[in-house]
Structure 1
Amino acid sequence: MTPQTNAATAMSEHDLISLGTRAFQGLGLPQADAEDVAKVLVLADLFGLSTHGLSRIESYGDRLKVGGINPTAQVSVNAVASAIRLVDGDNGVGPLVGMHALRAAMEAAKACGVGVAFARGSNHFGPISPYSLIAAEAGFASIIGSNATTTIAPWGGSDARLGNSPIGFGVPNPGGQPFLLDMAMSVVARAKIRNALKQGAAIPDTWATDKDGRATTDPKAALDGFLLPVGGHKGYGLALMVDLFAGLLSNAAYLTHVKSWVDAPDEPQNLGHFFILIDTSVLGSTAWLTDRMNDFASILHGSPAVEADKPVIVPGEIELKKLARHRAEGFVPDPAVLAQLQECAALTK
């Protein structure tokens, strides 16, 4: 049996990854694959993105148990051109497929200056910022995206035809903090609405509509309805572009072809992802990039704040500050998540 951890005790990144690895091993993943998954989800938690962190043991675990996700996926990478890789995830856990695709794109970019990986046969792969950070720390600028289960109606439509497809950008800073932008195409992620439902809280009426397309503050009605895209018709267009790259070009499912993990948990989703990486070392020295990145940030920081206690920030600063704090002080997992991790880890042979 795995020893029980005091729920009130902060855990180190190493211990969180170790526990997460054992938990996913308990769900049937080989150790190396389980560690890939755990590293992505732990980074999400340390960033403060708890809805996409180790709490995903519940939804991933449910689908692993009913055969909706392949625990022993044989992820394959095919180099179809010098700078392009096609990744078949074999219906593996999303972060596992994501890490294979990231490494494939990094390898191609190191060889060619630019590398692109299209992944198919995948599932929910967590937030984008962990992949962007890993790429940035290795010197790569990145554009990364994934498609998702349909939760948004086409602009002017009355039923869900496209997903809340996330996209992220990253630019490294060898002598400072990288730029990290991680955003979904809706005003908020469905996970935030699910959390509001669990807590019995209302939501802002700008987040979603009910099934009839009317704005609602009821999270239950919102989950039965549609998410609202950020920026109206512009967000709708961006969501379509992400799905074209992540789903259509990768030969994965797209739009309504994507299976719902809620309605059909035992069926493969065949989600797609794309990773576009640029090796910044071919553009200039690390000193050159550091100077420009720090100047870029200082121009923004120098803008007088409208509210004194809310200074201008660069995307990624809040998450990176939380990451640094959690790495120094440890992270306290949600007791329910911790208990589930320990329960799954106890199954490890």
Structure 2
Amino acid sequence: MSTQPQDTPPIPEGELTELGMRAFESLGLPRQDAADVVQVLVLADLFGLSTHGLSRIESYGERLSVGGINPRAHIRVERPAPGLRLVDGDNGVGPLVGMHALRAAMEAASECGIGMAFARQSNHFGPISPYGLIAAEAGYASIIGSNATTTIAPWGGTDARVGNSPIGFAVPNPGGAHFLLDMAMSVVARAKIRNALKAGQEIPDTWATDAAGKPTTSPKAALDGFLLPIGGHKGYGLALMVDLFAGLLSNAAYLTHVKSWVDAPDQPQDLGHFFLLIDTRRLGSAQWLTERMNDFARILHDSAPADPARPVIQPGEIELAKMARQKEQGISLSAEVLALLRRHADAPAA
């Protein structure tokens, strides 16, 4: 399915949120659970991350319909230590598990100044930046990560044994733009290669290799091969670190133990996530943090740009500007995604 916005009228955030909730309710989720899922996905669309927004109802919906995801997950939170939370997602929809883990980490950080939640028995939980924004708005700096289906070969290897495990960082600015960095460990997301295949377009040869490990411009060969990590062996090492925290320490699946949602849609993935939060209010006042964050951004902005048409920015500024614009003007979705949402929303509840 194409996820690029087409010529459809922008939809008000509230209207799209209600449509998304009805769609997920029809797939069997209780209304409050649907609200958690849709909050993350609508934020992704507000940021302009259309490959990770409500378009995900296609893959999530397929797995819900074949029993690969539990629509009525009973999520449990354990407290092994004051600053630690262990979250069992009961194979629920990923953003639902993610929101429970985020709230658990917030609770721990509120109590201890720093808190960490490890989640297991989860699924694809959307992009990281929505969680980072929610945490930042509440005054928490965060480091958040998730493991993923294996799509990257070990450095120097010839088969996929490493996930394209994303990590995100966020630092709040109470009186300005929050710092938001959200990145996977590959040069591009696999979804961009799938979109190129559907559009009949070639890809840069720096994105992926074919099955023999050779760089390719063919999206089909790339999907049969491996994604290339950012920074070569350094990106490989970062991907392993994220999987150690998100998968191994969370007691979730890791590396090749993670099931592919494409190859085995009816099987639980047992993905893991981690949420490390710091209560910045324990470090200083809102005025203190605002002054330092604004100065931090100013130092970057004052660098003369190599291209006058592309001024220096801080991570998160593009997404926050898109969010502000779409909150005012409405959210753009592709006609295909909108039709699928409406089809689910109008179907009888599962």
**TM-score band w.r.t. shorter chain:** over 0.9
Task: Tell which deviates more after alignment, 191-200 or 136-145.
Answer: 191-200
Does 1:150 find its partner at 2:155? no
In structure 1, what is the Cα distance between the partners aligned to 2:240 and 2:51? Answer: 24
For 2:187, give the aligned amino acid.
Answer: V
Shift of 1:348: 4.4
1:257-291 per-residue CA deviation (whole Å, 9 max, x = no partner) reads 00000110000000000000000000000000000
For 1:158, give the aligned amino acid.
Answer: T
Shift of 1:8: 2.3
In structure 2, what is the Cα distance between the partners aligned to 1:194 and 1:59? Answer: 13
Partner of 2:89: 89
* Counterparts in 2 of 1:7 and 1:312: CA distance versus 1, 3 Å: closer
1:48-89 per-residue CA deviation (whole Å, 9 max, x = no partner) reads 100000000000000000000000001111111000000000
Partner of 1:134: 134
1:203-244 per-residue CA deviation (whole Å, 9 max, x = no partner) reads 000000000001000001000000000000000000000000
In structure 2, what is the Cα distance between the partners aligned to 1:348 and 1:76? Answer: 29
- Is the partner of 1:196 in helix, strand or coil? helix
RMSD: 0.9
For 2:99, give the aligned amino acid.
Answer: M
For 1:301, give the aligned amino acid.
Answer: H
**Segments ≥4 residues shifted beyond 3 Å:** none
In structure 1, what is the Cα distance between the partners aligned to 2:201 and 2:44? Answer: 24
Partner of 2:264: 264
Partner of 1:24: 24
For 1:287, give the aligned amino acid.
Answer: Q
For 2:200, give the aligned amino acid.
Answer: G
Task: Tell which deviates more after alignment, 184-193 or 11-20.
Answer: 11-20
Partner of 1:3: none
* Counterparts in 2 of 1:28 and 1:208: CA distance versus 1, 3 Å: same
Partner of 2:274: 274
* Counterparts in 2 of 1:112 and 1:17: CA distance versus 1, 3 Å: same
How many residues are matched?
344
For 2:311, give the aligned amino acid.
Answer: P
In structure 2, what is the Cα distance between the partners aligned to 1:202 and 1:190? Answer: 14
In structure 2, what is the Cα distance between the partners aligned to 1:199 and 1:8? Answer: 19
In structure 1, what is the Cα distance between the partners aligned to 2:98 and 2:331? Answer: 24
1:164-209 per-residue CA deviation (whole Å, 9 max, x = no partner) reads 0000000000000100000000000001101111111110000000
In structure 1, what is the Cα distance between the partners aligned to 2:321 and 2:348? Answer: 34
**Where do residues 1-349 of structure 1 align in structure 2 (5 Å cutoff)?**
8-349=8-349
In structure 2, what is the Cα distance between the partners aligned to 1:32 and 1:207? Answer: 39
For 1:84, give the aligned amino acid.
Answer: L
- Is the partner of 2:180 in helix, strand or coil? strand
In structure 1, what is the Cα distance between the partners aligned to 2:179 and 2:331? Answer: 23
In structure 2, what is the Cα distance between the partners aligned to 1:279 and 1:164? Answer: 29
Unpaired runs of at least 5, structure 1: 1-5
In structure 2, what is the Cα distance between the partners aligned to 1:14 and 1:76? Answer: 30
- Is the partner of 2:124 in helix, strand or coil? coil
- Is the partner of 1:109 in helix, strand or coil? helix
In structure 2, what is the Cα distance between the partners aligned to 1:238 and 1:90? Answer: 28
- Is the partner of 1:157 in helix, strand or coil? coil
- Is the partner of 1:77 in helix, strand or coil? strand
Shift of 1:332: 2.1
- Is the partner of 2:223 in helix, strand or coil? helix
In structure 2, what is the Cα distance between the partners aligned to 1:330 and 1:348? Answer: 28
For 1:78, give the aligned amino acid.
Answer: E
In structure 2, what is the Cα distance between the partners aligned to 1:333 and 1:185? Answer: 27
TM-score (norm 2): 0.97
Shift of 1:12: 1.3
For 2:14, give the aligned amino acid.
Answer: H
In structure 2, what is the Cα distance between the partners aligned to 1:135 and 1:19? Answer: 25
Does structure 2 conserve the Cα–Cα contact (< 8 Å) formed by 1:165 and 1:243?
yes
TM-score (norm 1): 0.98
In structure 1, what is the Cα distance between the partners aligned to 2:81 and 2:196? Answer: 46
- Is the partner of 1:247 in helix, strand or coil? helix
Partner of 2:3: none
In structure 2, what is the Cα distance between the partners aligned to 1:218 and 1:26? Answer: 38
In structure 2, what is the Cα distance between the partners aligned to 1:332 and 1:226? Answer: 31
- Is the partner of 2:105 in helix, strand or coil? helix
